[in-house]
Structure 1
């Protein structure tokens, strides 16, 4: 996929981010803790501020995958204080028509490289148990089930499996 571009989102990219995020929530409503209606109601200033990492004082890597100039994938890496050794993965999504083409693995590799550069020893994520394709993707990337199943959202019948991947630092 030579026309694939993965880049780090900045506050100036807020409209691109908003488009990709809302597309992900609409297309895969059972994959995220948030909902399309919740995020569609956000003001443009809120979308922009999500990407203002310095102002928010968070260590994050918000990524967008574009194919032929169109947003087709999204993923966030994030490190939460006080545990600076754990990189969380959020908002992972690839457009259905381009799934199976390596975009998700490319996003995961970027986050893994970023996490290694920050000396993290673990990557963690949650995946809806009914999404077998996503579960298999994460397993193929070295993630293993870890911990108890959790509700996707309050009162949701869907369950999320926490998964982890240990990171090995080259000596």
Structure 2
């Protein structure tokens, strides 16, 4: 594998973010609460705004994974006030050609390090129960199921399973 580079998306990266996010929604429509149609309809200023964390008052870590300048993965870590002890993971995706190469694990590691550095003690996410590969990834990374599955979207038969990982500063 060529060298993997993971970087933080900033407002100037909005076009790269838009491209990889839409690619993820097109590739894996059953993995996200949002749809390709909903996000493809967003204006350029809305895409720019998503990455303007300061103006949104958002404590987040939007990450992009690239190999040779080609986007191959995406993930966000977000701390929602007032519960500043939990980092929620959203938009986790790796391109089909790059799956199984440790990219998702590298994205999770970056978010975990950020969470620990932010004084958080829990990572939380929700995974589509039918996505066996993602469920295996999260379980092998130390996540456990919590709570009851809920529908992916109001009109969907697919279910999301909440999962959490407890963090310890010594990890």
TM-score (norm 1): 0.98
State the shift of 1:12 in Å: 0.2
Q: Which residue of 2 aligns with 1:44?
A: 44
**Secondary structure of the equivalent of 2:31?**
coil
Q: Which residue of 2 aligns with 1:14?
A: 14
Q: Which residue of 2 aligns with 1:27?
A: 27
State the shift of 1:3 in Å: 2.2
**For 1:64 and 1:101, how far apart are their aligned partners in 2?**
15
Q: Which residue of 2 aligns with 1:102?
A: 102
**For 1:170 and 1:133, how far apart are their aligned partners in 2?**
28
Within-5 A mapping of 1:55-134 = 55-134=55-134
TM-score (norm 2): 0.98
**Secondary structure of the equivalent of 1:170?**
coil
State the shift of 1:67 in Å: 1.0
Could you report, residue by residue, the CA deviation over 1:3-60 in whole angstroms, capped at 9, with x for unpaired residues?
2110000000000000000000000000000000000000000001000000000100
State the shift of 1:170 in Å: 2.3
List alignment gaps of at least 5 residues for structure 2: none
Asked if 1:136 is matched to 2:116, the reply is no
Could you report, residue by residue, the CA deviation over 1:51-88 in whole angstroms, capped at 9, with x for unpaired residues?
00000001000000011111110000000000000000
Q: Which residue of 2 aligns with 1:166?
A: 166
Could you report, residue by residue, the CA deviation over 1:105-134 in whole angstroms, capped at 9, with x for unpaired residues?
000000000000011010000000000000
Instruction: Report how many aligned residue pairs link the two structures.
Output: 171
Question: Which of structure 1's runs of 4+ aligned residues deviate more than 2 A?
Answer: none
**For 2:160 and 2:106, how far apart are their aligned partners in 1?**
23
**For 1:126 and 1:163, how far apart are their aligned partners in 2?**
6
List alignment gaps of at least 5 residues for structure 1: none
State the shift of 1:2 in Å: 4.0
